[in-house]
Every structure is written in C-alpha cells, then in structure tokens.
Chains A and B, each alone.
Chain A
Amino acid sequence: MSAPTLATNEAQQRPGQLGSSRAKNSREGFARALRRNLSAHAFLIGAVLCFAFFSWFPMVREFILAFQKTKGGQTTWAGWSNLTYIFNDPAFWQAWRNTLLFTGLALVFGFAVPFLVAVTLNEFRHGQGYLRMLVYLPVMLPPVASVLLFKYFYDPGYGLFNRVLQILHLPQQQWLQDTHTAMLSVVIAATWMNMGGATLIYLAALQGIPGELYEAAELDGAGLLRKIWHVTIPQTRLILSLMLLMQIIATMQVFTEPFLLTGGEGPEGSTTTVVYLIYQYAFYFNNYGSAAALGLVLLVLLAGFSAAYVRLSRSSED
C-alpha cells in the first residue's frame, strides 16, 4: 500500500529537493524498520553483548597485546619484538611440526575412520540404531575421563595395550613415552573420543543418497568399492569437504589430549602443540605478548580455512 503513495510524493517534488527527500525517506524507512523489528533487536542485545564482551573484545585485545610488552608494571608498545621472539624460539617450529603432524594423522584416522564406519553402518539393515548408539557412546563420556582411561591403557608397565601385545607375543611399546609413537598415541585416543559425532553426520549424509543410484550402479555391474567411489563419495562430496575443513580447524587447536596424556610437552617436546605453547607463554612464563602474537599467527592461518568453510557452506545451501 505504501509504495504508490511514496512514488506519487516523489513525482510531485522539484528535482533539487529529490536528493534530500530520498535521504529523508531512507531515514524514515530505517526508523520504521527499526520500530517494526524492535522486539527482535531487543532479544538480540544479550547475545550481542555477551559476544562483544567474551569474544570480540578479547580478539581485539589479543591483537593489541601482540604488539605490547609489560615489564616492571609498565606496558609499552613493543613493535614486532613479540613476533620476532616467537619465530626465534626453537619450540615454535617444533610446535608447528607437531601440530601439523597431529592434523595429518588426525585426518588419516579421524577423517577416514568415521567415514568408513558410517559406510559400514549404513549397510546394516537391522540394529542400526543400537550400533549408532555404540559408536556415539564415547562422545558422551567426559573428555578428561576418556583421556585418563587411555593414559592407563598406554602405560608401558601395567597398561592394557602392552598386556595385549604381550599375550600376542608381540614387542611391547613405549606409546606416549617414545618420541616416535607419542603423537600417534595421542591421535588414536582423540579419534576414539571424537569419531562418534562425525560418524553420525556422515551417516545422515549417506542416508540422503537416493537408493536408485546404487541400484543403477549394481545394474551396471559395480561392486562395493566402485559403488563407494562412483556413488557414495560424489554424493557426499560437499559434506566430506566441510568435515575436512572442520577437522583441520579443530585439530590445529588441539590442547586437551596432549595436555592430559603427556603433560603437554611429551618426550623431548614431541607433543607440544601450538595452543599448548600459547598456554605456556601466557600462564607459565607470564609472557602475554608472545602468547598473543602466537595466537595471532594461528588466527590468520585458521581464518583462511574458516573462509573456505564458509564458502563451502554457502555453496551447500545453494
């Protein structure tokens, strides 16, 4: 109803008055929209303020801290010195190597295993709900309890895994206490703890694939592997890509598992991750500037992955 009225009013005005009139109308439109959505905006205030206080403000503060130094009660601008410090710290490169190793191993185990489990579960015609629950059960355990359970399993003296190896007459391992196996052991524990959620997401995606596609593939003589390769993977490509990015973003921030399993550092620093190093800088060394600088480096890297994730999410909506 209002549009013709506005058009009529505009037509009646002189050309010189048109600009200011448009601005006025735009302001009125904005005010009207604001009034119309006042309740919605009011409902948003709490969330916006909470985000502002606990997410956005700390981010801005971190950025500022990355270029500051506090000494003798005085906070001063430090230029690039915090970044120089972290790049010169041998632990910095070791932490990145360890984090990338964790991410790589987590992709092999944490990405592939849940997908294969989902494909297997999808093949079951009976008891699927029961099996889904079994797979999801570890996610419901408190993470600390799960990690401590694995810490016991990995103990080289009385741990379950070495006991099993002993029964099988296989050489026993040092697990978390060997520089070569420490990170792998952390990844196995992390995969067991977290794969339930990913499996359910894959399963939901698999169940959205039309059965006719498999039937058509079978008619063409495709076996199980070819069906997976030519039907399952292409049909779940988008979910797989999203999960891959989410895994990368999550695994590059790994902290809890190495912190609890190896005390954070591991043998000769072999499980020190980037986030654990940030924690050390801040809370053991009281070096907030370097902690913030390293956080900033991580932020920049993860922002790239997050942007790719958002782009993929949008294309999935389209």
Chain B
Amino acid sequence: MRSSWLRPPRRYAAAVLVSALALTTVAACGTSSSGGGDNSGGGGSADASTPLDPKTKVTLTIDCMPPATKKPELKEWNEDVAAFNKKYPNVTIQGRSTPGQCEEPARFTAAIKAHSQPDVFYTYFTDLQQVLDNNGAEDISAYVTDKTVPALGDIDPNVLGVLKQDGKLYGLPTSNYRMGLLINRKLFTQAGLDPNNPPTTWDEVRTDAKAIAKLGNGIAGYGDYSAANTGGWHFTAAMYGLGGDVVSSDGTKAAFNDDLGKQIVDNLHAMRWDDNSMGQTQLLKWGDLQKQMATDKLGMFLAAPDDITYMVQQLNAKYENFGMGPIPGGKATLFGGNDYMIKKGSSPDKIKAAIAWLNFETLTPGKGTFDYSRRKADGLPVGLPQPAFLTGASKTKDDELKAASATMPVENFKVFMDNPVPGKSEPPKAQEIYKVLDNVMSGVLTNKNADPGKLLSDAEKQVNQVLANG
C-alpha cells in the first residue's frame, strides 16, 4: 500500500525533471542570434546626414575581426577599438572572428538566408544581389556624406558603383584588387628572363613559360585554375585583358564564344599540351597555385596583389621573390574586393555608429588599417599595390605614407603600378557563369583532344540558360 501512493509522485517528479532536462537540451541545441533587435540607447540626431553624436549609446556586432592566431592584426584591431571609443565612449564594438577566410560562400549564404549576419557584415563586391534578394542590408545612401566619410569624394566611383543598386548605396569598401600577372622573380632570373619586364601579351607569356619549364625539376612556367569556380573567374579575367567580355552589355547573352575566347582556350591548350609548360597537375583552385609558386615550382599566374601576402604569411615565402606586371592584353582588368554592409532593420543610431567605425578603420589615410607605420612596427607587410579604391588627394597621401613605411621592395610592382589597366567589374550571376566556364578550363587543361570550339559553344548554351532564368 505504501509504495502505491509513493510511486506516482516519484514518477511525476522524474517526469518533470526529465522534461526540464530535455527542454534544456533542445534549447541548447538551438542557435542564438543577435536578431534584428536594437539595443541603441538613443541620444543621436534624427538627421541621417550628420555624423554620429558622441553621446550615442549603441552596441555593434562586426565580423572579420582578426582571429587570435593573427596576433599583430588582433592587437591593432583592439587598439583601434580603444581609439574609436575615446571619441565615441558609448559605442560598444563586439568583434567576431571567423575561421579561414572572412567570407566563405556556404557559410555566408546560410547566414544571409537565416538573417543571422552581424550588424555590420563583410561581403564581396559580387554579393550585393544575393544580399538584396534576401532583404539583408540597409540603404545607407542618406547616411554616407562627406561629413560622415570625409574621403567619400576620393573613393573610385567604379568601386562605389558596384555597391549601389537603383542609385542606392548598400556598402562601403574596405579593400579591392585589380588582377595582374604575378611572377616568380627567382625562376625568371634562373631561366635567363628579365624579372623587371614581365610579359604583357599572351604570346610573351607562352614564350617565357616555355623557357621557365625548361628548368625541369617539376617546374611549370604558367599555371591556371580549373575548379571550384575559380577557373571561370580566371577565364573571365583573361577575356577582359584582351578587351572581350563574358556577357553581352545588356546582360542577356553569353559573349565569350568568339575569336577572343577561342584565342584564350587555344593558347592554354598549346601551353599545356604542345609546350608542356603548365605542369601535369590540374583541377587546381585558389590556394593551389600559391603553394606551387611559394615553393619555386611555378613561374607565373594571374593573381591579385594580396596573393603575395598569403604566400608570405601562410607559406613562408619572401616578398623579394615576387613581382607583378599588368594583365596580358592590358585592355581591361577584372577588379573585385570586399566591403561592409549594415544589416537590414538596424536603427539610425546603429547605422551612424557603423559608418563612423568604418570611416575610422578603413577609409581614413593614416588611421586604422591605413596606419602603415604601426603595421611596419608590428611586422606586417606594407607596400602592396592594394587596396586601390582611393583617388585624388587621399591616394596621394596614402601612397606617401605607404612608401615611407614600405617593408618590401615596391619596385618589384613598378610595372604593374606604372601601367594601370582600367578596372572592370565581374559579370552578373558571376558564380553561376564561373561554374560553367570551369568546364571550359578543366576541359582544355585535362583533355589533350578537347575541342575548344565545342567547349565554348556548350558553355555558351549553358550560360544563356543561366541568364535566361533571371
């Protein structure tokens, strides 16, 4: 009898306990999100064009904070936050660091879809459409003025243009690149070539590649990508260099199945199979060619200047070993870069605080990431021809400051700097088109009997379909 009345309460207690534990587990399984909630404490001005009121109390979450493994960069970030807080003591900056690249497409796409991006989030120039499709960013046109961003008039209008849609501005640039031809000076010298005069046409590239490949020992003269959408990206860069395009000006048709496209494919086929100057290992993607060049196994490839930083910082290469020339053809060069956008639903105070931070950290010569003397003191590289979005007086000042603290032989980039090639932005639906063009690149680099005409016409049909799907 006793047990019969004792048992139920025990059972209920156990049930309640287990339920509570289960619910706690589920709660722990869930994700936390900064959400669209706003914690601004007010105090700001209602006028969007005026700078942030120093009394404004607001908290900002920002991604792409340097990770703990990058000690000097993280130290500088913390110093910059402290300096920013001297002027804006009530703005709390909550940096978020990410493993690997600041933006990885899969992670970024998921975050944008789930609206879990931070208040101020890092994107590539090509991400604008995706962000807007998912209602992810604020229109900051009214907030970005020469009062809030004094260097606004000196920012390259082409760069600002890629961050606009229908005349509305959605982001502020932090860095950009123009592609050129990266060379290994050591191999050039060993092959009897002049490293101060990198090739400027594809014929010259082919000749020099052949000479470098003759060094033997597994050394390739020229390398190119053909996987993970990077092959299509490089094909596009090569087309731009020759004055061509991959998409018609109205954005409705593929435009690469022409003499220029065929010239690029034929040249790659000749270098790969006739000259054997591109090595046997193909299906390469970003990171692979850098490894080859850092270990003196590759003479040339199309690259952005910050590839050198990657090779020096991650692969223990030396700056003096590399040089850059303009992209072969020199008609136009693909430019890209990254920027910060502000999450949709942010309060005016948050937007103002974000712009104040971005202006301080990435848009003021001599401050933040442009504080070259500090970078030099911290052992970070100074002297790369990148970023390149400043013009006019800001560029002059930036160049002077950079030259004064250069940590690398900047004369190695002289040909690249002295022969500026007009920048051209990436095509619409860039990633989908690059994916299709990857097949052209992988086809010509892995199949000796590949038919360039068929590769291009198949790709043309697919790209037309991609574009037709809107």
Q: Name A's B-contacting residues (CB within 8 A).
A: 35, 38-39, 41-43, 45-47, 49-50, 53-54, 70-74, 85, 88-91, 155-158, 174, 176-179, 262-269, 279-280, 282-286, 288
A161 to chain B, nearest CB (A): 13
A269 to B462, CA, bound (A): 13
Question: Is B59 in contact with chain A by the CB < 8 A criterion?
Answer: no
A155 to B113, CA, bound (A): 38
Do A157 and B280 form a contact, CB below 8 Å, given A43-B18, A53-B26? yes
Do A263 and B132 form a contact, CB below 8 Å, given A49-B23, A284-B229, A284-B435? no
Do A266 and B22 form a contact, CB below 8 Å, given A39-B11, A284-B432, A285-B431? no
Q: Name B's A-contacting residues (CB within 8 A).
A: 8, 11-12, 14-16, 18-19, 21-23, 25-26, 29-30, 105-106, 109-110, 112-113, 130, 132-136, 218, 226-229, 279-283, 285, 344, 429, 431-432, 435, 438-439, 442-443, 446-447, 455, 458, 461-462, 465, 469
| Cross-chain contact B22 with A263 (CB below 8 angstroms) | no
Do A46 and B443 form a contact, CB below 8 Å, given A38-B11, A177-B283, A283-B110? no
| Cross-chain contact A50 with B439 (CB below 8 angstroms) | no
Interface of A, secondary structure class, is helix
Interface of B, secondary structure class, is helix
Question: Given the complex, which residues of B lie within 8 Å of A283, measured CB to CB?
Answer: 105-106, 109-110
Question: Given the complex, which residues of B lie within 8 Å of A38, measured CB to CB?
Answer: 11-12, 15
Do A157 and B281 form a contact, CB below 8 Å, given A90-B461, A284-B435? yes
A41 to B282, CA, bound (A): 56
Question: Given the complex, which residues of A lie within 8 Å of B446, measured CB to CB?
Answer: 174, 177-179, 267-268
A176 to B283, CA, bound (A): 9
Do A85 and B469 form a contact, CB below 8 Å, given A267-B443, A268-B443? yes
Question: Given the complex, which residues of B lie within 8 Å of A91, measured CB to CB?
Answer: 462
Partner of A267, one of B134, B283, B465: B283
| Cross-chain contact A42 with B15 (CB below 8 angstroms) | yes
Question: Given the complex, which residues of B lie within 8 Å of A50, measured CB to CB?
Answer: 25-26, 29
Name which residue of chain A comes closest to B469, CB basis: A85
Question: Given the complex, which residues of A lie within 8 Å of B344, measured CB to CB?
Answer: 73
Name which residue of chain A comes closest to B282, CB basis: A177
Q: Which 5 A-B pairs have the closest CB atoms?
A: A73-B135, A46-B22, A263-B227, A283-B106, A42-B15
A178 to B18, CA, bound (A): 57
A162 to chain B, nearest CB (A): 9
